[in-house]
Structure 1
Amino acid sequence: MGGTAEKHLVYCWIERDGAALFLRRADGTFHGGRWELPGGTVEPGEPMESAAVREAAEETGLVVRVTAERSRHTWMDVTGRDLRVHARIYEVADGTGDVVLNPGEHQEYAWLTPERAADLDLLPYVRETLTP
């Protein structure tokens, strides 16, 4: 009996001129149509901050550098599996450049203030981190 499995996710709070980058999940994907921050799953043995930098590059084409941890969140898997999900959201310094989405994961992006983002269909952990 192994008990509850653990999954670790990391996300980036990428900010430019007071607005953060939000991504809309592609239709047909898990949570399709909902908004989130750039990020994803930590690979086995991968340091959390390295995973955040890798995921930001894969999903947006942006090269970032972690500057601080913004928040932590934990919840049980929403599909009913015996899985506890842990998410860390990092504040990052953004390299310059244009956002280039991975169309297999996201269909839209927006630079929004936290106040404007609050009107989106956000995933719960994102809503919780709008104010650090």
Structure 2
Amino acid sequence: MTRRKDLAYCRIVRDGRVLFLRRAPGVFLAGRWELPGGTVEPGEPFEETAVREVAEETGLSVRVTGELSRDSWPDVAGRALEIHAFFYTAEENGEGDVVLNPGEHDDFAWLTPAEAADVDMAAHFRRLPAY
């Protein structure tokens, strides 16, 4: 039986640039860039997951402003797992400094879509409309 895993991410734009985080060494997909986000907890609304994960991973406070996209794919590690990702647009509640959780990410960058096209990221982020 195939299990399901839900993920929720936020696209945060500041001065025309999107916030990306680089996965830390030793974690799944280490070295790849991604939007802030993560796993939906049982019973947690997807939008709340996105806001919580942004706070945990970056220290930023955001509010969801809309849904950007949805995507699904089989687990890249070959497990009997189907991934469902929900991507939201978000605005900051005041402009703060990014403070990374070093257990998950080791760098961040505010990138234009052209700059983002040149970094290593998972396919589900590449499929997003204009990041």
TM value normalised by structure 1:
0.96
Q: What's the RMSD between the two structures over aligned residues? A: 0.9
Other structure's SS at 2:55 match = helix
1:1-132 matched pairs, under 5 angstroms:
3-95=1-93, 96-131=95-130
Number of aligned residue pairs: 130
TM value normalised by structure 2:
0.96
Residue ranges of structure 1 left out of the alignment (5+ in a row): none
1 CA distance for matches of 2:12 and 2:130?
14
1:95-119 superposed Cα distances (whole Å, 9 cap, x missing partner)? 2100000000000000001111000
1:28-65 superposed Cα distances (whole Å, 9 cap, x missing partner)? 11000000000000000000000100000000000000
User: What's the CA shift for 1:130?
Assistant: 4.6
- After TM superposition, which residue ranges in structure 1, 4 or more long, deviate above 2 angstroms? none
Residue ranges of structure 2 left out of the alignment (5+ in a row): none
Identity %: 61
2 CA distance for matches of 1:100 and 1:55?
13
